[in-house]
Amino acid sequence: MSVTPPLVAEVLCRMTLRFGTLPIAACALIVAKVMKARRLILCAVFLTAAACSGRNPAAPDAAAGQFVMIGFDGSRNLPCCRSTDSSGAVVALAGGVLQIGWNTPLGAYTWDVIRTYDYPNGTSTQAQLPFSTGSYRLDGATLTLSDSKGGFLLTGSIAGNIITLGGGGHTYQFLRLIEMPH
């Protein structure tokens, strides 16, 4: 009985998730290469791998990774916070990307927001815009982001693959998509 390549990829990925024998990125590359997976399947592998990572929340690099915004002010209903700009476009917060120690210098973070623009003529656009950059500190499960321009200080917690941050009268929730290898 021969083993088909997709089955081999599935077994390797299950071993990775269960025992940590392969880096998460290798699992995604194996699946993409062997199965010629579409983008959706590759994203599902990353989400599954991140959710089952078993990372120690007290590790010094526990916050390192890439996160997507999933909530604002206690609601997970994005887009939110609609307002009308001077051109008459309705602008809404559609999400965000937080990178901690990922594509950043050691001890640094970047945070982009994603905004949608719905114009009066019926057209729409979406833009990813820089929101904040600065440094982060992790003390146990408490995460602090310090904006480099002194705009704000956010403090929150890491619970598994969810980061919840608060400050300036708002709360933000992020889900880990990619973690740094350890």
Q: Locate the domains of the chain by residue range.
A: 5-51, 65-179
pTM above 0.85, yes or no: no
Which residues, at least 6 apart from 38, have a Cβ–Cβ distance to it below 8 Å? Answer: none
- CATH class entry, domain 65-179: mainly beta
Q: How do residues 123-167 score in pLDDT, each as one tens digit?
A: 999 999 999 999 999 998 899 999 998 878 999 999 889 999 999
Percent of the chain exceeding pLDDT 70 equals 65
CA distances for 140 relative to 13, 34, 133, 144, angstroms: 30, 39, 22, 11
What pLDDT is recorded for position 60?
52
